[in-house]
Amino acid sequence: MTILKDIINKNSKKKLFIFPNKKYLTYEQFYNKALNFAKNYESRLNKTKNKTVFLRMDRSIDFYIAVIGLAFLKAIIIPISNKLSKGETFAFRKIYQPDLEIDSISVTKKNIKSLKIDKDFLKKAKIVFFTSGATDAPKGVLNNFQNLLNSSNEFANLASYKNNDIIIHNWSQYYMAGFFNMFLCPLVKGSSIFFDKEIGVDSYLGYWDILKKNKITLSYLSPTMAQALISFSNYKKEKLNLIRTKFFSTGAFLYKSTASRFKKEFDVDLIDCYGITEVGGSFALSSKFSLENKLSKFSKGIKIKLLRNNEICIKSKFMFEGYLKKYSKVKKYKHSYFKSGDLGKIYKGKYSITGRLKEIIKKGGEPVSLLHIEDITLKHEGVKDVLAKGVTSEFWGEDIELDVIFSASPYKLNKDNKINLLKSYLGQNLPRIQMPRKINSVTHIPKTSIGKNYRRYFN
């Protein structure tokens, strides 16, 4: 049964999912549960027109059992977060009009030998992941399973996933990183997945203990998660000597300051990982810790070019099929290269990600990178987090303001003193045109679900 069956046969008795209570699920057990799920829904889906399924489930491995089971049935799977409000769910339902909605896998045991599975089911089965929607309304990106499995195999080779690896899965299951990097990549390489609770404020203090206790060899952190670990963790370098974990950063732009702080605090590299949902997930890595965020390792089947405005364009063998539109219709993607919206530069065959097109404003006609300003600001020891935002200006056209979460000061400085110290620092490290007109001391900075600054234009 193609690549999936080969993976199961090779790793049948090996642990695929490991749980905090020491229980586990083998590759063979997982596969049979997915087949049984498919058998329970076979007759219902065969009677539907589009086979579009809303999968709205609590965080659990049942979600992945359902995904693979529905793939056997050549369904169009739309994972919908159970954190959405009734109104948001109703809006999704109205747009996509699913044939079926599933919120659990309470199914009866059936004779899976009679299950009819198309030999090309991997090409015909689709899954939709929504872009983060940090600046625009989210788009439903439609990928087929064949492309995703092939892409995950290439990236797992690039990132050196091993058969004896234990990958911690503590991200949302509703976004590409949680599905691609922490499920498909270990699956295709015969690795094991430690399925922990979704990472959050209450889990940062115990994070390193979890890695050590469960012998985790590979972990993904968004830049925001890395910043939080630096802020909350009471671990120091000498306490990490028994942890043998490789760390990748994904989900958002990795600031040089964050990578540098992580290296300094924990004496381990935070390897920059770059990918885009539309081109089949992650496909590039920095070779090691780099203050320049240089990507030097690429999956096979990937080509990159820069446009005149330095926007990065990617051509991939694993390209998405298109965007899911109203009534589950697909707007097919017909171009050979995908415009990423990211800015970059190239030197001696190595690419550096320098920012986002939508995070560039024009102040007095001169382009200014909000990401660059955030990066410089985060290097100040008194700054815990920052959001640079573009605001309208009668004189400049556009100007800059900063929302800053300041670190606790051992000198008991008040808010005004902290702001003045930061202004002085920025004055020494930024060109005059990039200086913010105002710095606001705040206690909260809005984030998307994968840790990106929620950036919109402010009037």
The reply to whether 338 and 410 lie within a common domain is no
Strand runs labelled E in 170-290: 192-195, 218-221, 246-249, 270-276, 281-285
Judge contact between 194 and 229, C-beta under 8 A: no
The reply to whether 348 and 375 lie within a common domain is no
At 134 the pLDDT is 39
The reply to whether 328 and 401 lie within a common domain is no
Number of domains observed in the structure of the chain: 2
Judge contact between 359 and 373, C-beta under 8 A: no
- Looking up residue 246, the CATH number of its domain turns out to be 3.40.50.12780
DSSP code of residue 417: H
The reply to whether 349 and 368 lie within a common domain is no
Residue 15 lies in a domain: yes
The reply to whether 370 and 281 lie within a common domain is no
The reply to whether 314 and 414 lie within a common domain is no
Any idea which residue has 């690896």 for tokens?
A: 165
Residue 446 lies in a domain: no
The reply to whether 258 and 404 lie within a common domain is no
- Looking up residue 422, the CATH number of its domain turns out to be 3.30.300.30
Domain end point (choices 355, 379, 401): 355
* Bridge partner residues of 313 (DSSP): 305, 339
The reply to whether 425 and 310 lie within a common domain is no
The reply to whether 237 and 196 lie within a common domain is yes
425: left (phi over 0), alpha (psi -120 to 50) or beta: alpha
DSSP 142-191: EEEHHHHHHHHHHHHHHTT--TT-EEEE-S-TTSHIIIIIIIIHHHHHT-
The reply to whether 296 and 423 lie within a common domain is no
The reply to whether 33 and 126 lie within a common domain is yes
The reply to whether 41 and 70 lie within a common domain is yes
* Burial annotation 16-45 (CB, 10 A radius, 16+ → b, else e): bbbeeeeebbbbebbbebbbbbbbbbbeeb
Q: Write out the residue range of the structural domain in which residue 368 sits.
A: 364-441
| 2-11 and 27-46 helices, crossing angle to 10° | 150
**pLDDT tens digits in sequence order for the chain, 459 residues long:** 468 889 999 999 999 999 999 999 999 999 999 999 999 999 889 888 889 999 999 899 999 999 999 999 999 999 988 877 888 888 889 888 999 999 988 877 877 888 888 889 999 999 999 875 434 457 899 999 999 999 999 999 999 999 999 999 999 898 899 999 999 999 999 999 999 999 887 788 788 889 989 999 999 998 888 888 887 766 555 556 667 899 999 988 888 888 888 888 888 889 999 999 999 999 999 866 555 567 888 999 899 999 988 899 999 999 999 999 887 788 999 899 999 988 888 877 788 888 778 788 888 878 888 988 998 999 998 999 999 988 888 778 889 999 999 988 766 788 899 999 999 999 999 999 999 999 999 998 887 655 677 665 444
Token pair of 262, please? Answer: 């992580």
Q: How far apart are CA 63 and CA 69, in angstroms?
A: 10
Judge contact between 73 and 97, C-beta under 8 A: no
Residue 212 lies in a domain: yes
Residue 284: what are its φ and ψ, rounded to 5°? -150, 150
- The amino acid occupying position 440 is N
